[in-house]
Amino acid sequence: MKYPECTRCGESSPLWSFYGNSIAAVFKVVVGTLTGSKGLVADGVHSAADAMSSLFILVALKIADKPHDDKHPYGYGKIEYISTICASVFLFLGAGSIFIDALHTFKQGLHEVPGYPALLATVVSLGFSYLMYTSNLCAGTQLGSPAMIADANESKADSITSVAVLLGLIGAELGYPNADTIAAVIVSLFIFNMSVEMFLQGINGLIDVSADSDVIEEIVAASMNIDGVSGVHSIKSRKMGQKSWVDLEISVSQKLTVLEVHTIAEKVREVIMGSVNGISGISVTTYPVD
């Protein structure tokens, strides 16, 4: 974490993201319906799915912050991955409804030109989505939160789909009435792709993906600085949401007493927990060497 403000920002960003996406969804759907813009309505459905995702993430972050207990010795961090999977399902269903509606429009041949109000609404939505993206990405990166980074990626996708809608509306104004509906199809396909990526990220977290390589290198370096540690025999890690749990096996001389070995292991644990960021817990065992 680079700045103390990151914690406060991390607490407020998901809440503002939920409110922002909810307002944006209503705004886009209402304006899109009144102006006849299929692309803007599709973008509104996307924002509605983002709002539901933000709500899941907000709840998940509250649960993930709970301390570990006897029934959950590794804590509740993995709830963030579950919230990511739930968010991906909402996005997938939203994309399906957009795609079916666009195909229905092509079949019926409805080609109403939305007009300038839809253009203005899309530009406003684009700027708003980008602001939410930068806020969530900054907080999520600094805190190492997969759920908040997923929320940021949703806002980024919302910005990109708004660009697609904007291009479709411009095309409709220039005399290509199908452009707006084509934009809706592009939006739906983009959301499909994003939902699949988010789903795979959630699954990857649930099957104990390892901590980042730079964190592993920090742990090894910190261990080797402790007197009595001959080397790192093995190291395994698993991500638990914003933090990771580490199983470390260090090499120590077989000539040392049990008390000396225990003291070295405890020193390693204390140093790593105090100096390496993003570690929720560590188990240190020893391996005797000649």
CA–CA distances in Å: residue 24 to residues 173, 188, 288: 23, 17, 61
- Cβ-in-10-Å burial (0-12, 13-18, 19+) of 142 comes to middle
Q: Which helix (H) or strand (E) holds 254?
A: none
The tens digit of pLDDT for each residue in 240-261 reads 777 788 899 999 999 999 999 9
pLDDT at 278 over 70: yes
Asked whether residue 55 falls in the same domain as residue 127, the answer is: yes
The encoded tokens of residue 124 equal 């406003």
Domain end (from 140, 174, 206): 206
Range of weakest confidence among 31-40, 200-209, 211-220:
31-40
pLDDT at 110 over 60: no
178 alpha-carbon distance from chain centroid: 34
Asked whether residue 146 falls in the same domain as residue 32, the answer is: yes
- The DSSP output letter for 226 is S
φ, ψ of residue 277 in degrees (nearest 5): -75, 150
Domain end (from 150, 175, 206): 206
37 or 34, which is more confident: 34
Asked whether residue 199 falls in the same domain as residue 56, the answer is: yes
Question: 77: closest CA among 145, 152, 8?
Answer: 145
Tell me the average pLDDT across 78-107: 78
Structural domain for 128, as ranges: 5-206
Distance CA 245, CA 151 (A): 24
pLDDT at 8 over 70: no
Question: 133: closest CA among 54, 243, 32?
Answer: 54
Whether this model's pTM surpasses 0.75: no
pLDDT at 111 over 60: no
Collapsed DSSP state (helix, strand, coil) of residue 243 = strand
pLDDT at 35 over 70: yes
Q: What is the pLDDT of residue 270?
A: 92
Distance CA 17, CA 128 (A): 10
Q: What is the pLDDT of residue 267?
A: 93
Distance CA 177, CA 170 (A): 10
Residue 275: band (very low, low, confident or very high) from pLDDT cuts 50, 70, 90 = confident
Distance CA 48, CA 9 (A): 23
Question: 114: closest CA among 37, 168, 166?
Answer: 37
Residue 46: band (very low, low, confident or very high) from pLDDT cuts 50, 70, 90 = confident
CB atoms within 10 A of CB 234: 11
Asked whether residue 176 falls in the same domain as residue 261, the answer is: no
Asked whether residue 103 falls in the same domain as residue 173, the answer is: yes
Q: Which helix (H) or strand (E) holds 102?
A: helix 79-108
Asked whether residue 43 falls in the same domain as residue 60, the answer is: yes
Asked whether residue 245 falls in the same domain as residue 270, the answer is: yes
Domain end (from 187, 206, 225): 206
Residues 17, 23, 24, 26: what is their CA dihedral angle, to the nearest 10 degrees? 140
Distance CA 107, CA 103 (A): 6
CATH code for the domain in which residue 242 is found: 3.30.70.1350
Residue 114: band (very low, low, confident or very high) from pLDDT cuts 50, 70, 90 = low
CATH code for the domain in which residue 153 is found: 1.20.1510.10
Asked whether residue 54 falls in the same domain as residue 188, the answer is: yes
CB atoms within 10 A of CB 257: 8
Residue 129: band (very low, low, confident or very high) from pLDDT cuts 50, 70, 90 = confident
Tokens 């093995």, residue? 234
Asked whether residue 182 falls in the same domain as residue 74, the answer is: yes
Whole-number average pLDDT of the chain: 79
105 or 80, which is more confident: 80
Asked whether residue 202 falls in the same domain as residue 236, the answer is: no
Asked whether residue 36 falls in the same domain as residue 89, the answer is: yes
Total structural domains within the chain: 2
Asked whether residue 83 falls in the same domain as residue 191, the answer is: yes
Q: What is the pLDDT of residue 132?
A: 78
